[in-house]
């Protein structure tokens, strides 16, 4: 039987899980579920694999792009508010129970950085990817190399004024939703953008503050790594008006210091496309070793 050339990609964020069949940087099929945000992650994957049972036999490898840090196939949260994962959860081994294909796992934003570098707005150049989503994640690709480990976890930055609070807790979707509560009960970040578009001043002010903080982060990233491009993704980063607000906040910055910002060309698929490429590469190098 011919070996299928697609990869099963699974992206687990703090808000949503996306599963997809990906071939050569193109998404063939997708399934979306809300991230359960509680209980045993084994049950999340069991439910997800039940949902995509009909895809069995159509993929040669499995790629997992997850919020949090992955060390030797073990998954942990850096910020439990973004997603509360049991410490050193055996991610790769758990998913291997549901498939006979090789499994490769990485951080979601690092995978998305690779996707945008290879197939999207990174255009093969030195770049930093930022996702503004449930939290804030990031990935760095310099000289064609994707940095792993903690590299790019810009949402975890702290400063003197907020030593106990990660930057993402004052910028991301969770923050926008929490700040919206006095104005509208049960508001989501998406509702904030809808209200801003409808001309509501409180919502416009929240988007401006969040975008201003993202702009400052981009300015600092530029000084640290001097990438040719900073690519912005995530549902907040891609929401109407957000990138323009970040650009506006950067307008007074001297030209030599100002980053070149681009919207993620792969949109919400950056992570699943990136992890497919990384998983395929890993599977091929293992085959060559044997
Ligand atoms: P994840 O963090 O799971 O990767 P997202 O990138 O979709 O997922 O980010 C989730 C955050 O984005 C949530 O705060 C959600 O309310 C918000 N969000 C989702 N869709 C939109 C939208 N169309 N416009 C603005 N915000 C959105
Ligand atoms: C947090 C951190 C990162 C992740 C980023 C974006 C956890 C659980 N996650 O900074 O590893 O890349 O959020 O994640 O500590 P998302 O869910 O917002 O896409």
Instruction: pLDDT tens for the chain, 290 residues: list them.
Output: 566 789 999 999 999 999 999 999 999 999 999 999 889 999 999 999 999 999 999 999 999 999 999 999 999 999 999 999 999 999 999 999 999 999 999 999 999 999 999 999 998 999 999 999 999 999 999 999 999 999 999 999 999 999 999 999 999 999 999 999 999 999 999 999 999 999 999 999 999 999 999 999 999 999 999 999 999 999 999 999 999 999 999 999 999 999 999 999 999 999 999 999 999 999 888 778 76
Nearest CA to ligand 2 atom 13: 135
> Quick one: tokens of 275?
């992890």
Atom of ligand 2 nearest to the CA of 156: 10
| Best mutation site among 82, 134, 148 for ligand 2 pocket (most ligand atoms within 8 Å of CB) | 82
Instruction: Evaluate whether residue 97 is within a structural domain.
Output: yes
Instruction: Evaluate whether residue 116 is within a structural domain.
Output: no
Cα gap 162→179, rounded to integer Å: 17
For residues 97 and 157, state if they share a domain: no
Burial of 195 (0-12, 13-18, 19+ CB in 10 A): buried
For 14, the domain range is 7-111+269-289
- Could you write out the DSSP letters of every residue in the chain? -PPP--EEEEEE-SSEEEEEEEETTEEEEEEEEE---SS-HHHHHHHHHHHTGGGTTS-SEEEEEESSEEETTEEE-S-TTT--PPTTEEHHHHHHTT-SS-EEEEEHHHHHHHHHHHHSTTTTSSEEEEEESSSEEEEEEETTEE--TTTT-GGG--BTTBTTS-GGGGTSHHHHHHHHTTTSTT--HHHHHHHHHTT-HHHHHHHHHHHHHHHHHHHHHHHHH--SEEEEEHHHHTSTTHHHHHHHHHTTS-GGG---EEE-TTGGGHHHHHHHHHHHHHHHHHHHH-
For residues 136 and 249, state if they share a domain: yes
For residues 212 and 250, state if they share a domain: yes
**Contact of 81 with 67, CB cutoff 8 Å:** no
For residues 156 and 242, state if they share a domain: yes
For residues 184 and 245, state if they share a domain: yes
**N- to C-terminal Cα separation, the chain:** 20
Sign of the dihedral defined by the CA atoms of residues 238, 242, 220, 223, in that order: positive
Total number of domains constituting the chain: 2
**Contact of 231 with 115, CB cutoff 8 Å:** no
For residues 135 and 254, state if they share a domain: yes
Instruction: Evaluate whether residue 139 is within a structural domain.
Output: yes
Instruction: Evaluate whether residue 190 is within a structural domain.
Output: yes
For residues 143 and 260, state if they share a domain: yes
Instruction: Evaluate whether residue 1 is within a structural domain.
Output: no
- pLDDT of the residue at 284: 86
For residues 57 and 133, state if they share a domain: no
Cα gap 161→274, rounded to integer Å: 36
Atom of ligand 2 nearest to the CA of 155: 10
Instruction: Evaluate whether residue 119 is within a structural domain.
Output: no
Q: Cβ(188) to ligand 1 under 6 A? A: yes
Instruction: Evaluate whether residue 233 is within a structural domain.
Output: yes
Cα gap 75→71, rounded to integer Å: 7
The DSSP bridge partners found for residue 26 are: 23
Q: Cβ(274) to ligand 1 under 6 A? A: no
For residues 83 and 129, state if they share a domain: no
For residues 214 and 254, state if they share a domain: yes
- pLDDT of the residue at 269: 98
For residues 138 and 189, state if they share a domain: yes
For residues 169 and 97, state if they share a domain: no
Q: Cβ(236) to ligand 1 under 6 A? A: yes
Cα gap 68→207, rounded to integer Å: 25
Nearest CA to ligand 2 atom 19: 13
Q: Cβ(222) to ligand 2 under 6 A? A: no
Any idea what the CATH number is for the domain that residue 52 is in?
3.30.420.40
Instruction: Evaluate whether residue 246 is within a structural domain.
Output: yes
């Amino acid at each position: 039987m011919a070996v299928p050339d697609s990869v099963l990609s699974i992206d687990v964020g703090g808000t949503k899980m996306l599963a997809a069949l990906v071939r050569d940087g193109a998404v063939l099929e997708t399934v979306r579920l809300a991230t359960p945000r509680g209980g045993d992650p084994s049950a999340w994957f069991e439910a997800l694999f039940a949902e995509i049972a009909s895809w069995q036999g159509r993929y040669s490898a499995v790629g997992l792009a997850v919020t949090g840090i992955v060390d030797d196939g073990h998954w942990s949260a850096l910020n439990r508010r973004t997603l509360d994962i049991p410490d050193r959860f055996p991610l790769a081994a758990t998913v291997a129970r549901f498939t006979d294909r090789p499994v490769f796992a990485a951080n979601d934003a690092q995978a998305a950085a690779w996707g945008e570098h290879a197939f999207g707005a990174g255009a093969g150049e030195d770049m930093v990817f930022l996702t503004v989503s449930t939290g804030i994640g990031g990935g760095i690709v310099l000289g064609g190399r994707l940095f792993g480990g903690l590299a790019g976890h810009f949402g975890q930055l702290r400063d003197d004024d907020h030593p106990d609070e990660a930057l993402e807790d004052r910028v991301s979707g969770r923050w926008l939703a929490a700040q919206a509560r006095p104005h509208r009960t049960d508001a989501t970040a998406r509702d904030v953008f809808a209200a801003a578009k409808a001309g509501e001043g409180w919502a416009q002010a929240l988007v401006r503050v969040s975008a201003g903080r993202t702009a400052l982060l981009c300015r600092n990233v530029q000084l640290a790594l001097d990438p040719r491009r900073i690519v912005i993704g995530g549902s907040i980063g891609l929401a109407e008006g957000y990138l323009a607000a970040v650009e506006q906040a950067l307008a007074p910055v001297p030209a030599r210091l100002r980053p070149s910002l681009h919207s993620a060309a792969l949109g919400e698929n950056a992570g699943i496309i990136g992890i497919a490429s990384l998983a395929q590469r890993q599977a091929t190098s293992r085959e060559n070793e044997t």
